[in-house]
Amino acid sequence: MKPIGGPEMCRLMEAHGWLLQRIKGSHHIYSKPGQRKIISIPIHGNRDLKPGLANRIARDAGIEP
């Protein structure tokens, strides 16, 4: 997966049906109706997510890399 920032990952999640439930500090918490998963995305300015974390979030959300 190409380098992706936190805000861009949030837009990608919302495009795939995930809903922002709450914001706690610098983490945005997403859930999807009909699923029991909760996914947390760190938002640290314009810094990119590390590749392993970005891949894990995408895999958990069911988003193809």
Alpha carbon distance 34, 48 (integer Å): 30
* pTM score: 0.88
Residue 65: the pLDDT is 65
The average pLDDT across 25-54 equals 95
Cβ(6)–Cβ(23) under 8 Å?
A: no
Strands 19-24 and 38-42: unpaired
Q: What is residue 14's three-state secondary structure?
A: helix
In the CATH hierarchy, which fold is given to the domain comprising 6-61? Metal Transport, Frataxin; Chain A (3.30.920)
Phi, psi angles (nearest 5°) of residue 21: -90, -45
Does the pLDDT at position 2 exceed 90?
no
Which residues, including other chains, have CB under 8 Å from residue 23's CB and lie 6 or more apart?
29
Residue 46: the pLDDT is 86
The average pLDDT across 27-48 equals 95
